[in-house]
Amino acid sequence: MTPPEVMLAVKVLFGAPVAAILFGFFVMRRVKPEWTHLPILASCAAVTAAAACLAAYTTAKHCLELPVWTWAVAGDWGVAFGLRIDGPSSAILAMVAFVGSLIHVYAAAYMKGDKGFARFFLVFHLFFLAMIGLLTANDYLQLYLFWELVGVSSYLLIGFWYHKESARKAALKAFMTNRIGDLGFLIAVLMMIYAYRSTRLQTVYEFMAAKPSIYTSIIALGLVWAAFAKSAQWPLYYWLPDAMEGPTPTSALMHAATMVTAGVFLLIRSWPIISAVDGLPQLIAWTGALTSLGAAIIAGTKKDIKRILAYSTVSHLGLMMLAVGLGELGTAAYHLIVHGFFKAALFLCAGNIAHAFHQSTANVDETGGLRREMPFTYGCFLAAALSLAGAPLFAGFFSKDAILDAAWHHGGGLRVIGMLIAFGSAFYIFRMLFLVFHGDRKEQSRGGRHPHEAGPEFVLPIFALSFGAVVLGHGSIREWVSNLMTYGMRGVPMVLIRLKPYFDLPGEPALPALNWTVSAFGTVLALLGAGAAYYLTMVDSGWDWRWRGGFAEAVFESDFGYKIIVGWGARAVSWTARFTGRVLDKNWWDGLLESSSDVLREAGNALASSAQGRVNDYLWWMLAGSAVLLGRVLR
Amino acid sequence: MPLTALWTVPLLGALVCAFLGSKARYGALAFSSAFLALAGGISYLQGSPSALAVLTETGPQWAYGVCYRLSADSLSLGLIGLTAFLNLICVAASWDLKVSAGYWACFLALASALTGVFLARDLFFFYAFWEATLIPMFFIIGLWGSSGRLHAAVKFFLFTFAGSVFMLLALLALVSAHHRVTGVWTWDLGSLDPKTLGAAAPYVFWGLVLGFAVKIPMVPLHTWLPDAHTEAPAAGSVMLAGVMLKMGVYGLLRVAIPLFPDLSVEMYPILGGLAALSTVYGALCAMAQTDLKRLIAYSSIAHLGFCLLGVLSRTSQGLSGGTLQLVNHGLTTGALFLMVGFLYERSHKRGLSDFGDLASRAPYLAFFFGFATLASIGLPGLNGFVGEFMSLSGAMSAPFPIFAFVGCLGVTLAAAYALPAFQVVFWSPAGPDSVSAKVSDLDFRERAILWILCGLMLWIGLAPKPWLAWFEPALRGLVR
């Protein structure tokens, strides 16, 4: 890669999506809306090629920091935007571009004939563009810009079928929750400007290395809070399961590539800040671990197939957070990449099922034994599920076991929780697999529908994704990610000796070698989970319907009661707003001001004897009053 | 001469329009265009903002030191440009209204008076122009408003007039104290010496602030605004929100802060606190509204709270951001009010629950409304964010950074009122009493207006640097 080629790749990375969106919006949407996806698919191809080039460039141990334009200046304050292509950004960008493009291809088939086809593709691509911008930003304010753009695009996509009340509610919930998280980001960025007069990543890192201060804690906490919202961690995870109200390609893109990964990426980017605050990494690790375990349990109780996958995403994001909190950034990024592949494949399989049923999602009550009608979908689902559960030699095995290994070495409660998660993941995904694709239960009824395998335009992207979910565990790929992360976080070529202590991360090289003890334990627990799922769905096949109803379901449906608390919070805010707006402001304060004219009139009547309504009198009174005031002022 | 022309051209237009009868709108269009061209031309000829030569015109001295004195620095010219731009937008947006010639005359007269406020450097003329703005706006609300227009017009007039009385007293005290100590009568902003006031200075400062704060409006002096906005015709709301509210902040920047630089720093805990409160209070009130126009009106209170927070922080980024937010708010809220006006023209309703499903019926309207809503809630990349962020950043660097944190909460709450309202009007299915069927999509003229406004929002959001640089020279001296 020569420098001009790199520059070309960078230009294509942004130029292609922007051009495709503008062309689609102004030309295709009017002229031929059903072809809006063509320029966008071309842009996907170009972006993927560019991302591959940049990944190759960084693999050859180059980094790029490119100023682009000065956004705002005032006094000694200024923000300049630019690009930072280094290890973490190029590694994750390569995954996002590839997986995202495949989902675009799938979406073209899935959304065909929808009334809002053009609108869908434009927003879909905007979502993609926002993520590219987020990954390559070299400045926290710029990152925030794309971060919010990701939020808005997801809002528009979740609410895409806005005629459904559930979609409207889910969209609002997602946006508001992310907005609450963004509060942390906003405060962090404001604090950076106050403390360091800069929001450029490199400058902030240098300040961190030089002297962490009280502001560091606020900045780090704010960023972690924002990441918890975006990456759906407790206490702000609750928007993600509802967010599957959007069309299935949206869910796939959101869960695999473009949205929820942003939070993990932010923490990887901000590691020099976070690691400088005592106790914060532990907080992240524990939050991630507990969220992961809780979500894995809930995922095992859901009936809606997309909802199971959504809780599974929360669980896996929790694992990534656990890795980040333990300082295993490379492991977190590696699991993020592998997760992108298998989760996208799983969601698109769910999309195939929903499509076969002609509805937006499907329920386990309506499925069962689908492997006969949809053998290809079944095969892809099985491969991705094995990867998710961490079956040996599948990609998920390597990425998850690296995290379990980190938890194992950390010891204590995290060691136990890690193993429980391994069990839970295998349980929920195999429960879903058996309920959907196997068996013939009396509780399940298709309601007269005859599902059939989807066409090649549906299955080819899924095949590519599940292929990735199988082979990404290959040694060379692990080594590649490992090298990129270690080296990228070192910030070469901006070698900063002072930064050394902060970049000498624990667990170097970024991916640990396979630990056979942990792998054995993990595999056994996964087998146990899958076995339990088999027993409860195939042997004792009515179990899933028997335990429903009553207290247990209420506990799981409300996420152990947390959803109720969130509901109280939302109601408290809207009550405060209604009280402020209608009672305090309108009735009391404005009422008081308006009634003052009545009071004056009453007083006027009382004083009528002294005032006969002659203008002359009033003018004298006014003059006298003004004179008194003036005299008081001038005295 | 050019400065006098700036405020006399629209005034002349108002007189001409008044006699044109049914053809008045053509006159209004011609004079509004001429006014914008003149404002743009003067700004252009002043050259690059950093080398901005401050144009000044001085007339002969009158009795008691009153002197016709105009001056235009980048702050004045920027706000005059905004006035001229929004005035033309208003004329274009009202083009098909069945209104008498007086309507067009009032808008031009309003533009003239506003320009006078931004130009005057003699406090007598400043006050005269200040009060002159009330008259056309009183008629715009009272004659062409909706059902509750009379009450709203009177309330608007009384509130702002009451505020102005304190301002007048403060100005009189200032001028007479100056005369008592120095023996010179003058109303010149540049030569008045507030030290002559001695111990009375805080009273005069608060008199001025009271006059400006009612106009802005700062919580708790804001209750005239929702009524006035709700009842005013759409274009009236645009001018009211777009420019008239800005007079208050301009007054602080031009009169109160330069005259009392130390007092305004001393009083920052109170004023900044009220500004921060405005951002949250306005947002909470907006959440409770069921009328689209009232909702946007309350959101204005919140947005002006950001302006105020930035300006009062007296830091370079706060002043720049707060001032840019004046322009931003004019564009964003102006666009929103226009669109509510378009809805009202078609259906004679503006309650949230009167509509539904408009995204399917009027996709252009939905697109532009969504765009402006996102700008209004401070989405980075659009204009609203720049002003809010820089204002908050300024407040963060000033004492009491807690105000900045409160302001951040206001940013978060903005989404909580704007998006649900957008969803109810555009996404929810139309109810049985819905008037959505009457709402046709925007025509070419309306779309053109909104393209211009939205294009500017995007431009300022992505590249605010030249805009900030434009205002910077006028604000440099105000940094604490």
Amino acid (1-letter code) at residue A128: F
Q: Are residues A218 and A338 in the same domain?
A: no
In tens, the pLDDT along A181-209 reads 999 999 999 999 988 888 888 888 877 76
Give the whole-angstrom CA distance, residue B450 versus residue B157.
31
Q: How far is CA A526 from CA A319, A386, A423, A616, in A?
A: 15, 10, 5, 96
Q: Which residues pair with B70 in a beta bridge?
A: B57, B120
User: From the CA of B155, how many Å to the nearest CA of chain A?
Assistant: 8
Mean pLDDT of all residues in A141-156: 94
Model confidence at A594, pLDDT cuts 50, 70, 90, reads confident
At A493 the pLDDT is 34
Q: Are residues A536 and A595 in the same domain?
A: no
Indicate left, alpha or beta for A491 from its phi (over 0: left) and psi (-120 to 50: alpha): left
Query: Does residue B465 belong to the interface with chain A, where contact is any CB pair within 8 Å?
Result: yes
At A614 the pLDDT is 62
How many Cα atoms sit within 13 Å of A402 on the Cβ side? 30
Residues in chain B within 8 Å Cβ distance of A633 = 169-170, 173, 200, 203-204, 207
Query: Percentage of residues in chain A with pLDDT exceeding 70?
Result: 90
**Does residue A403 form part of some domain?**
yes
Q: Are A258 and A127 in contact (CB under 8 A)?
A: yes
Contact A71 B317 (CB under 8 A): no
User: From the CA of B17, how many Å to the nearest CA of chain A?
Assistant: 35
Q: Are B380 and A186 in contact (CB under 8 A)?
A: no
**Does residue A417 form part of some domain?**
yes
pLDDT at A315 over 50: yes
Model confidence at A130, pLDDT cuts 50, 70, 90, reads very high
**Does residue A44 form part of some domain?**
yes
Query: Does residue A598 belong to the interface with chain B, where contact is any CB pair within 8 Å?
Result: no
**Does residue A57 form part of some domain?**
yes
Query: Percentage of residues in chain B with pLDDT exceeding 70?
Result: 99
pLDDT at B297 over 70: yes
Q: In chain B, what is the greatest distance between 2 CA atoms, to the nearest angstrom?
A: 73
User: From the CA of B254, how many Å to the nearest CA of chain A?
Assistant: 19
Contact B317 A70 (CB under 8 A): no
At B49 the pLDDT is 52
Mean pLDDT of all residues in B108-132: 94
Count of domains for chain A: 3
Model confidence at B449, pLDDT cuts 50, 70, 90, reads very high
Mean pLDDT of all residues in A388-396: 89
Q: Which of the residues B164, B465, B467 would you substitute to probe the A interface, choosing the one with the greatest number of A C-beta atoms within 10 Å?
A: B465
Return the SS3 of A88: helix
At A633 the pLDDT is 59
Contact A168 B427 (CB under 8 A): yes
Name the DSSP letter for residue B120. Answer: B
Residues in chain A within 8 Å Cβ distance of B180 = 634
pLDDT at A254 over 50: yes
pLDDT at A106 over 90: yes
Give the whole-angstrom CA distance, residue A20 versus residue A28.
10
User: From the CA of B44, how many Å to the nearest CA of chain A?
Assistant: 22
In tens, the pLDDT along A37-48 reads 999 999 999 999
Q: Are residues A568 and A450 in the same domain?
A: no
**Does residue A418 form part of some domain?**
yes
In tens, the pLDDT along B380-420 reads 999 999 999 999 999 998 889 999 999 999 999 999 999 99
User: From the CA of B15, how many Å to the nearest CA of chain A?
Assistant: 32
User: From the CA of B393, how many Å to the nearest CA of chain A?
Assistant: 6
Give the whole-angstrom CA distance, residue B223 versus residue A21.
44
In this structure, of A148-152, A163-167, A177-181, A363-367, the range with the lowest mean pLDDT score is A363-367
Residues in chain A within 8 Å Cβ distance of B405 = 187
Give the whole-angstrom CA distance, residue B324 versus residue B388.
9
Q: What are phi and psi of A301, to 5 degrees?
A: -115, -5
pLDDT at A446 over 80: no
pLDDT at B374 over 80: yes
Query: Does residue B223 belong to the interface with chain A, where contact is any CB pair within 8 Å?
Result: yes
Q: Which residue of A has its CA nearest to B220?
A: A589
Residues 6+ apart with CB under 8 A from B150: B142
Contact B172 A70 (CB under 8 A): no
Q: Give the 3-state secondary structure of A178-207.
A: HHHHHHHHHHHHHHHHHHHCCCEHHHHHHH
Out of B287, B392, B397, closest to residue A577 by CB: B287
Give the whole-angstrom CA distance, residue A473 versus residue A341.
12
Q: How far is CA A167 from CA A116, B97, B342, in A?
A: 15, 38, 28
pLDDT at A502 over 60: no
**Does residue A619 form part of some domain?**
no
Contact B288 A582 (CB under 8 A): yes
Query: Percentage of residues in chain A with pLDDT exceeding 90?
Result: 44
Q: Which residue of A has its CA nearest to B378?
A: A148
Mean pLDDT of all residues in A557-573: 89
Q: Which of the residues A18, A123, A580, A597 would you substitute to probe the B interface, choosing the one with the greatest number of B C-beta atoms within 10 Å?
A: A580
Q: Are residues A469 and A492 in the same domain?
A: no
Q: Are residues A319 and A404 in the same domain?
A: yes
Mean pLDDT of all residues in A288-311: 93
Mean pLDDT of all residues in A60-79: 81
DSSP H or E segment with residue B476:
none
DSSP H or E segment with residue B67:
strand B67-72
Out of B285, B315, B426, closest to residue A580 by CB: B285
The dihedral through the CA atoms of A472, A475, A478, A481 has a sign that is negative
At A612 the pLDDT is 57
Q: How far is CA A158 from CA A244, A635, B420, in A?
A: 7, 67, 15
Q: In chain A, what is the greatest distance between 2 CA atoms, to the nearest angstrom?
A: 103
**Complex confidence, ipTM:** 0.93
Mean pLDDT of all residues in B462-478: 89
Burial class (CB in 10 A: 0-12, 13-18, 19+), B45: exposed
Q: Are residues A522 and A565 in the same domain?
A: no
Q: Which residue of A has its CA nearest to B159?
A: A593
Contact A577 B429 (CB under 8 A): no
**A77-85 and A64-74 beta bridge pairing:** antiparallel
Residues 6+ apart with CB under 8 A from A242: A166, A169, A170, A173, A174
Q: Are residues A200 and A285 in the same domain?
A: no
Residues in chain B within 8 Å Cβ distance of A589 = 220, 223
Among A308, A293, A393, A389, which Cα is nearest to A347's?
Answer: A308
pLDDT at A615 over 80: no
Mean pLDDT of all residues in A153-158: 94
Q: Are residues A197 and A239 in the same domain?
A: yes
At B141 the pLDDT is 93
Contact B419 A635 (CB under 8 A): no
Model confidence at A491, pLDDT cuts 50, 70, 90, reads very low
Q: Which residues pair with B72 in a beta bridge?
A: B55
- What are the tokens at B422? 């957008």
pLDDT at A26 over 80: yes
Q: Are residues A26 and A145 in the same domain?
A: yes
At B480 the pLDDT is 80
Contact B317 A74 (CB under 8 A): yes
Give the whole-angstrom CA distance, residue A98 versus residue A464.
10
Query: Does residue A30 belong to the interface with chain B, where contact is any CB pair within 8 Å?
Result: no
- What are the tokens at B6? 């700036």
- Our separate counts of H helices and E strands in chain A read 29, 2
**Does residue A311 form part of some domain?**
yes
User: From the CA of A216, how many Å to the nearest CA of chain B?
Assistant: 15
Q: Are residues A101 and A80 in the same domain?
A: yes
Q: Are residues A238 and A263 in the same domain?
A: yes
In this structure, of A513-522, B73-82, B405-414, the range with the lowest mean pLDDT score is A513-522
Q: Are B50 and B206 in contact (CB under 8 A)?
A: no
Cα–chain center distance at A417:
23
Mean pLDDT of all residues in B343-369: 90
Q: Which of the residues A18, A30, A71, A573 would you substitute to probe the B interface, choosing the one with the greatest number of B C-beta atoms within 10 Å?
A: A71
Contact A148 B411 (CB under 8 A): no
Contact B409 A183 (CB under 8 A): yes
Contact A630 B415 (CB under 8 A): no
The dihedral through the CA atoms of A468, A470, A475, A478 has a sign that is positive
User: From the CA of A578, how many Å to the nearest CA of chain B?
Assistant: 5
Mean pLDDT of all residues in B49-69: 77
Provide the whole-model pTM.
0.92
Contact B316 A145 (CB under 8 A): no
Contact B420 A74 (CB under 8 A): no
Q: What is the DSSP string of A108-151?
A: HHHTTT-TTHHHHHHHHHHHHHHHHHHHHBSBHHHHHHHHHHHH
User: Which of 142-181 (A) contact B at CB < 8 A?
Assistant: 144-145, 148-149, 152, 155, 159, 162-163, 165, 168, 171-172, 175-176, 179-180
Q: Are residues A371 and A245 in the same domain?
A: no
pLDDT at A507 over 70: no
Domain holding A328, by residue range, is 279-473+515-552
Model confidence at A171, pLDDT cuts 50, 70, 90, reads very high
Which one has a higher pLDDT value, A404 or A77? A404
Q: Which residue of B has its CA nearest to A580?
A: B285
**Does residue A627 form part of some domain?**
no
Give the whole-angstrom CA distance, residue A189 versus residue A441.
55
Q: Which residue of B has its CA nearest to A591?
A: B223
pLDDT at B372 over 90: yes
User: Which of 337-356 (B) contact A at CB < 8 A?
Assistant: none
Residues 6+ apart with CB under 8 A from B149: B141, B142, B143, B231, B232
Give the whole-angstrom CA distance, residue A27 versus residue A21.
10
pLDDT at A359 over 90: no
Q: Are B288 and B240 in contact (CB under 8 A)?
A: no
Which one has a higher pLDDT value, B88 or A58? B88
User: Which of 180-199 (B) contact A at CB < 8 A?
Assistant: 180
Residues in chain A within 8 Å Cβ distance of B398 = none
Query: Does residue B427 belong to the interface with chain A, where contact is any CB pair within 8 Å?
Result: yes
At B376 the pLDDT is 94
Residues in chain A within 8 Å Cβ distance of B479 = 75
Model confidence at A492, pLDDT cuts 50, 70, 90, reads very low
Q: How far is CA B295 from CA A396, B279, B336, B422, in A?
A: 50, 14, 11, 11
At A505 the pLDDT is 41
Name the DSSP letter for residue A276. Answer: T
